[in-house]
A and B are shown apart, each in its own frame.
Chain A
Amino acid sequence: MSTKRWVPILVGLMVVLALGAAPGVVSPFILQFLINLFMLAVLAESWNIIGGFTGYASFGNVAFFGIGAYTTAVLLTRVGAPFALALPAGGVLAMLFAAIVGLPILRLKGHYFAIATLGVAETMREVVYNLEVAGAGTGLVMPILRSPMPFFYLMLAILAAVTSLNWWLSESRFGYGLIAIREDEDAAGVMGINTPLYKTIAFALSGVFAGLAGGVYAYWITFIDPEAVFKVIITIQMIIMAVFGGAGTILGPLLGALVLASVSEWLSTHLVTLAELFYGLIIILVVIFMPKGLSDLIRQRAFSLRYFLKNLREYRI
């Protein structure tokens, strides 16, 4: 085992430990920001599995988030189950949902797949709106947990897990299989890769982490309604963070989440009404000038105008 392999693991461990010490050091407000940041990073990394590695741009991953949130919430409030049970249940249900829905939907490609996943997410939202046991339009209120610490550590743990999974994907045969599917699915099939199985597993993995994030979110924010946990913008955020950081890389989505969440927070407090406008402009500029994301920028050490202009010309007609 070369030292090269151990370095990233050690670095990762150190970062996690450093972050783990954060609650004692930073202000409660920063703590809330970090919990939110970790959640967005988890979502971006989870999307990366199906969108970045496998190349299937899903536009409906918020469905998994919402299912995780609602499963946990319903078990907590209607059944009185302990959180230690409700949270994993949320993750498992989201995973099963992804696997079952994935079977027919992953046969579609390109735009059709994207729209179908969007349709699934929207359908789930409408279904929950009509479910009385889930509180319908009124939503569900969770019991209050006064300390933010459990949420901080939970989100950090889930983030560490999903990032490790992404790392494993980049080194394993399974991961190579996914990349092969992304690059040329027919060829991958010819080479003996069981593409439907691989895709479904990727989708399910994507689902379980989004679902867990949703479960923690529900308990943390103490209130959910269909609008809050099934809205399209959450999927878009996942995607734009992954793309901004570098879709298909390990740390890209994390990086993207860090930068964009910070920028968004700064905009909200300092520009208030113009915040969303600037966010939209940023999205447009990123897509035009750096569609391969920050990772690519950093890896090529190309902090020059030439890099951006090259990207500008790459996809145009």
Chain B
Amino acid sequence: MLILQVLINGILLGGLYGIMALGMSLIWGVMNIVNIAHGALIMLGAYITFWAFTLLGWDPFLSLPVTVLLLFLYGYLLQRVVLNLIVRAQLFITLLITFGIEVVMVNLARIFWTSDLRQVTPAYAGTNFSVGGLTIPYVRFWVFLTTVILSVLFLLLLERTRLGRAIRATTQELRAARLTGIPVAQIYAVTFGLGAALAGAAGALWGMLFPITPTMGGALTLKSFVVAVLGGLGTMMGAIVGGLVLGLAESFSSTYLGPTYPNAISFGLLVLLLIFRPTGVLGRREQG
């Protein structure tokens, strides 16, 4: 039945959107940095997966931990060396610098890896299974499962570990956190690293489904904005819920209104949400 297929498609894609936005939501919530280079980080994760697959023959699901680790290190260094310099500056300063970083990353990728379309095509790509008249591609299904696992792991990290507590303390009360001896610069760096790691994971998963190019990140950054705001900025669970909501909204609007509507709808939704319910679906009432 078409409507069930549309529903399933929306959920599967929604999981991926959720993990994509999780990294952005974390960085935004903790450090009040809107990371315009988020899409570039996703792109980096996708390329690492591609090169691991093409040059070393590593299965993309198996190379995922490596991608995550590499992106963590990259994000950590980026925050430590560059972004920590402007953390306390006005809003548009941070927006501009992350924009500059995005431009540099995309151009470096273009120069070194060219604009050729890259794909990760393991032997099982394109295979699918049927359930009650519905066709579900294997890769999408496993990608979805992976996003669920990663989300759970991440939430556990945030709620149950010392590091997680330190991060949450820094978010809520910066001065108090400093007074209790939490090394804020370090925490920020780790947080950005985590955000980058999540973006990298999203990129690895994305790269299994869609072609990889240096400029793939731009549209994904915008999408991540929409999801993060939808679910509630700064709340992690919100990013996941927001992802599912967007995935379903896109799937249904594309099918029943036409393929050119989802984009207009998602951005229109973003604007309306910000006006009427800026805290999103799950967010608490916080300062701006």
Which A residues are within 8 Å of any B CB, using their own CB?
A: 51, 57, 59, 104-105, 107-112, 114-116, 118-120, 122-123, 126-127, 129-130, 232, 236, 239-240, 243, 273-274, 276-277, 279-284, 287-288, 291, 312, 314-317
Contacts and interface: CB of A to CB of B under 8 A. Distances in A.
Interface string B254-265: 000000110110
Given A122-B222, A122-B267, A123-B268, A105 B275 contact: yes
B8 interface: no
Nearest to A109: B288
Contacts of A127: 264
B86 A316 contact: yes
Nearest to A123: B267
A315 B96 contact: no
B178 to A, nearest CB: 10
Interface in B257-285: 260-261, 263-264, 267-268, 270-271, 274-275, 278
Contact of A118 (B84, B90, B225): B225
Interface of B: 28, 32, 34, 82, 84-93, 95-97, 99-104, 107-108, 111, 184-185, 188, 218, 222, 225-226, 229, 233, 260-261, 263-264, 267-268, 270-271, 274-275, 278, 288
Provide the main secondary structure of the chain B interface.
Answer: helix
Given A51-B92, A277-B107, A281-B104, A112 B99 contact: no
Contacts, number: 141
Contact of A280 (B93, B103, B233, B260): B103
A126 B223 CA distance: 14
Given A115-B270, A129-B260, A283 B103 contact: yes
Contacts of A112: 274, 278, 288
User: Which of B32, B85, B88: most chain A CB closer than 10 A?
Assistant: B85
A57 B100 CA distance: 17
Given A57-B91, A109-B288, A119-B274, A317 B104 contact: no
A288 B83 CA distance: 9
Given A283-B99, A288-B86, 19 more contacts: A57-B90, A115-B34, A115-B225, A115-B229, A116-B271, A119-B226, A119-B274, A122-B267, A122-B270, A126-B260, A277-B104, A277-B107, A280-B100, A284-B104, A287-B100, A288-B97, A315-B86, A315-B88, A317-B188
Given A57-B95, A243-B96, A123 B271 contact: yes
Contacts of B32: 111
A130 B253 CA distance: 14
List of 5 A-B pairs having minimum Cβ-Cβ separation, nearest first: A280-B103, A283-B100, A126-B264, A315-B89, A277-B107
28 contacts: A104-B275, A108-B278, A108-B288, A110-B288, A111-B28, A111-B91, A114-B34, A114-B92, A116-B270, A116-B271, A119-B226, A119-B271, A122-B263, A123-B270, A123-B271, A126-B263, A126-B264, A126-B267, A130-B261, A243-B92, A276-B107, A277-B108, A277-B111, A284-B97, A288-B86, A317-B84, A317-B87, A317-B188
Contact of A273 (B97, B111, B233, B268): B111
Nearest to B185: A317
Given A105-B275, A277-B111, A281-B100, A110 B91 contact: yes
A51 B96 CA distance: 13
Contacts of B101: 280, 284
A314 B84 CA distance: 11
Nearest to A136: B260
Given A277-B104, A280-B101, A239 B88 contact: no
Given A116-B275, A283-B96, A291-B89, A123 B111 contact: no
Contacts of B95: 57, 59, 114
A287 B89 CA distance: 10
Contacts of A129: 260, 263-264
B188 A111 contact: no
A280 B103 CA distance: 5
Contacts of B103: 276-277, 279-280, 283
A315 B33 CA distance: 13
A114 B99 CA distance: 14
Given A111-B34, A119-B274, A284-B82, A315 B99 contact: no
